Structure 1
């Protein structure tokens, strides 16, 4: 049994190359008994579990097929797909994960899993937005709107996000060291796995627990990224799409 961790695929109808890369990845790497952890931003936007677009139906069917092959899938919300809900889990067979959950890897270490945007506390503007969209009352209000209205809202939010990010300093959009160490200490673990920043790497942090490791998953663009936990080895892998 192997565990695979991915994030930031940003699947969308206009990027069929990303969808094909993801389908190929599943076909070539995932076998019966394996586990797939999707740590947010699997979709470039998710407007609700009543999404009826053909592209999204295909993705849901593919996830359901993984369950049929004996692959266990775990899904964590990101900043693009925070509206994924219970119906999605029912249709796909995926287990929804709470942010800041922990699992035990094959090497015996406990790993803290999160999308990663909660660590970017230097970006005050984004953190205020995050608090708003993670509010259940706000989500219920949005989900009550017609599908076409939500599609337009999602497109508008993506455009505004791209415009705002282009004017922000690079370090503001990365994780804050104090927030990283606080997350390590709160979880009482020396290993963290997350995505969001699109800066794949393995980092060392020193805090009250000693030397801790933070593994950042890469976004899928020209290449894909996954973290593999197998036979007590944890490897961050980049591959062509």
Structure 2
């Protein structure tokens, strides 16, 4: 049956070879059978530049190149600096942060999802700063070892800040969800980021609407499978690292 797959928030890193193994198995056994694969951000735990020659980056690029289905990528808050060089090496298409696609006749808005979390004022301020083109230009011209050190420090501060924030603040703002859906002219939204997989049915301007949230891959794989008839959130066992 024709179907499209969506994943997000794998946070691949050398420290979690089990997640990498599960991802590579997914790419080899499932992704190529789909009409398309959409990666909605945070595939990687961090990204310091397309010039980082890590084995993990090479493995991922090779897996994407081998995929017989087209692969589309929306940046997340951890890997927003993935650029054209890696996209070319991996044979993937980079999409803007908000994109409307025709999904078997249903216009669907897709995004990473962090822009919906407007109640987290501190994060939104950080997001605006890190998206400044001139700042990214300067960062990418630092030595690779320096960039890796900065990324490690940012991850540590991010983990500390989350401990002081409520789950509500870090979740989406319902008003912003509805605003973005109206702006895009859609009744369905698919996103990741919050690590709270669920299918939410709602009413938007008197019509039924749906928000689908992708899960992370920390304890199991999380895949959204969409056909013309339905959308189903599915789980996958994490493969043992070899």
The residue that corresponds to 1:216 in the other structure is: 213
Task: Quote the residue 1:161 is aligned against.
Answer: 158
Out of 100, 105, 111, the residue aligned to residue 102 of structure 1 is: 100
SS in structure 2 of the partner of residue 130 of structure 1: helix
2:197 is the alignment partner of 1:181: no
Q: How does 1:1-241 map to 2 (within 5 A)?
A: 1-31=2-32, 34-66=35-67, 70-106=68-104, 108-208=105-205, 210-241=207-238
State the Cα deviation string for residues 145-201 of structure 1 (Å, max 9, x = none).
Answer: 111111001110000000000110110000001110100110010000000000000
CA contact (8 A) 1:47 1:154 kept: yes
Q: Is the 8 A contact 1:181 1:205 kept in 2?
A: no
Count of matched residue positions in the alignment of Structure 1 and Structure 2: 237
For residues 114-160 of structure 1, give each alpha carbon's deviation from its aligned partner in whole angstroms, at most 9, with x where no partner exists: 00000000000000001111121111111111111110011100000
- SS of corresponding position for 2:80: coil
SS in 2 for 1:175: coil
What's the Cα RMSD here?
Answer: 1.2
4+ long deviations beyond 6 Å:
none
Tell me if structure 1 keeps the 8 A contact 2:102–2:108. yes
| Structure 1 Cα separation of the partners of residues 153 and 135 of structure 2 | 17
Contact 2:107 2:188 in 1 (8 A): yes
* Consecutive unaligned residues in structure 2, runs of 5 or more: none
Q: Secondary structure at the match of 2:32?
A: coil
Structure 1 residue 222: Cα displacement:
1.3
Give the superposition deviation at 1:65: 1.6
Take 1:20 and 1:231, find their aligned partners in 2: how far apart are those partners? 30
Q: Distance in 1 between matches of 2:26 and 2:33?
A: 14
